[in-house]
Structure formats: structure tokens, C-alpha cells
Amino acid sequence: MTIEISSGGAHPERLVMLPSGHVVPREFHDGVRGQIEDIIPAMQPGVSYTVAQMCGLEFWGPLFDLERQDAGRCVIWMVIAGALPLRLVGCPHAQPKRYERI
């Protein structure tokens, strides 16, 4: 579950609070989701992928380390919520996490 909040001010930014308590911009959250939704049809069954692989170099490459961590947090919560047809594979504490199409 995500909670949408507004940052207020003259130029309010729509934010998403993840169940972990982390807050990310709605535009970033939706961008990560869009990248992954676009690649899911091409994912091979039984093959695991990292968030970086699913997002692709064009999206992933320019991200700072903290943004990459936020992208990973977004994906794990989308998977837990059933918002993406993926499942976590391997050790849940491993980094980077790996996902398979379901």
C-alpha cells in the first residue's frame, strides 16, 4: 500500500509514502513502475532479473545511489502489494534482489 501526500508550497510535489516509511516522488515511483511494466512481456519465464536489468541502462544509468535504492524499495513494495506480476526469488536479504515473472 502506498499513501500519496503533497509537499505543499508554491510548487507542490506529489509524493508516495511506501509502507517502509520511505517517501519518493510520485513521478519517480510511476517511472520505475512504467519501466518494469514495459519489460515484463519480454522477460523469460524462470529467469531472474535485478531492478537495474528490468529498468534498463537508459533509465538506471543516470540515477544516483540513493535513487537506485529508492527504485528497489518501490519495486519490492509493488511486488508485495501484487501491483506487478513478479515474485522475489532467492534470499530476501540479498542485494541486489532478483525477481521472476509470474
Kindly state whether residue 92 falls inside one of the protein's structural domains.
Answer: yes
Residue 20 in any domain: the answer is no
Q: What is the DSSP letter of 45?
A: T
Confirm whether 26 is domain-assigned.
Answer: no
Taking alpha carbons only, the member of 36, 19, 41, 37 closest to residue 71 is: 36
37 domain-assigned: yes
Helix H or strand E encompassing 98: strand 98-101
Contact 51, 94 (CB under 8 A): no
pTM: 0.88
Write out pLDDT tens, residues 11-43.
667 889 899 999 999 999 999 999 999 999 999
Amino acid at 2: T
ω into 96 cis (within 30 of 0): yes
| Residue at 86 is within a domain | yes
* Number of domains the chain contains: 1
- The average confidence (pLDDT) of the chain is 91
What is the residue range of 87's domain?
32-101
Asked whether residue 65 is domain-assigned, the answer is yes
Residue 23 maps to a domain: no
Q: Residue 68 domain-assigned?
A: yes
